A = this chain, B = another copy of it.
Amino acid sequence: MTASFAERLSSRIQRFGPLCIGIDPSNRLLAQCELPDSAEGALAFGRRVIDAVDAELPIIKPQAAYFERFGSAGWRALEQLCAHAQSAGLMVLLDGKRGDIDATADAYGDAYFGPSSTLPADAITVHAYLGYAALAGLVARARTAAAGVFVVVRSSNTEGQALQQAVTADGSSVAMALAAQISADNASHGDGAGAVGAVVGATCTDAAATVAALPQSFILAPGVGAQGATLADVAERMPQARGRVLPSVSRAILRAGADPAALKQTICQLRDQAKALLSG
């Protein structure tokens, strides 16, 4: 039997520490790396990062938007990049923040977790503006495929706070209500770490309460580096999540991408720091 998403990810975090690298081939980064602003350039950039990682991280996070801007050619590059990462032994978290209702949400589930998926991800990010319950079919497809789903609970930017802190009819915030739904879903599927993770920005100074409400979830913590948070901030703000928090760094690493040796050094440094500060 295939190991569950949580078992696979936990085992890799124990081995390599928790650092997650985002692969965001923006036009600016591609120009810095003297690569063309094309699907080929985005793929070459992604391969460079994966080769520098040399499989010594638990998971990498390609950002769909940067590939989608090249249409079907970009999508093909993304498929090739994810296949390259998985054959190198890495897990892949596709960051696309998908979400919709009933049959449409199911179709997104089929896209990434279906038996005939051309882009089989180990996990994807989703949004719940249309309600967590609307994602049930998508989450079920992830579980069947031994994959995971990360729901954006609290984003790393300031513009999202008003919505995420709005108060629902039962008196809890949108973020806390979502955390409760995620946790109930994970708990109903057994003990231990669950298939449904959460995105909680490393920049949220009050993240502790949110993370405490997500006892079985992996926490993807974006906002480390260019957005201003540090790995030490993550350790301080999410102390309960040691061993299951994935601090996510993109630009702060990728801007070293012009020089493969410098890229590798930056990755190793941050990987070791993350392992020391945040391992379970």
Is B163 touching A71 in the complex (CB atoms < 8 A)? no
Docked Cα-Cα span, A107 to B78, in Å, equals 15
Contact between chains at B103 and A130 (CB < 8 Å): no
User: Among the listed B69, B131, B155, B173, which residue makes an inter-chain contact with A155, where contact means beta carbons less than 8 Å apart?
Assistant: B131
**Residue of A79, A99, A156, A177 with most chain B CB atoms under a 10 A cut-off:** A99
Alpha-carbon gap, A63 to B114, bound state (A): 18
Knowing A24-B104, A130-B159, A166-B174, say if A79 contacts B71 (CB, 8 Å): yes
For this complex, into which size category does the number of interface residues on chain A fall?
35 or more
What is the 8 Å Cβ interface bit string for chain A, positions 186-199, against chain B (1 contact, 0 not)? 00000000000000
Q: Taking each of A78, A79, A131, which has the highest tally of chain B beta carbons within 10 Å of its own beta carbon?
A: A131
In the bound complex, residues from chain B placing their C-beta under 8 Å from that of A163 are: 128-129, 131, 166, 168, 174, 177-178
Copy total for this chain: 2
Interface residues of A in 58-92 (CB under 8 A from B): 63, 65-66, 68-76, 78-79
Across the A-B interface, the 5 shortest Cβ-Cβ residue pairs: A131-B159, A71-B118, A166-B166, A65-B107, A72-B76
Distance in angstroms between the alpha carbons of A72 and B102 in the assembled complex = 23
Whether A24 contacts B160 in the complex (CB less than 8 A), given A72-B75, A72-B76, A119-B71, comes out as no
| CB <8 Å contact, A133 and B118 | no
Contact residue among B63, B69, B155 (Cβ-Cβ distance under 8 Å from A130)? B155
Whether the pair A104, B157 counts as a contact (CB closer than 8 A) is: no
Write out, one digit per residue, whether chain A residues 110-125 have a CB within 8 A of any chain B CB (1) or not (0): 1100100111000000
Residues in B with CB closer than 8 Å to A161 are 131
Contact A127 B99 (CB under 8 A): yes
Nearest B residue (CB) for A37: B116
Beyond A71-B75, A72-B79, A168-B163, whether A26 also contacts B119 by CB under 8 A is: no
Name the B residues within 8 Å of A160 (CB-CB).
101, 129-131, 134
A32 in contact (CB, < 8 A): no
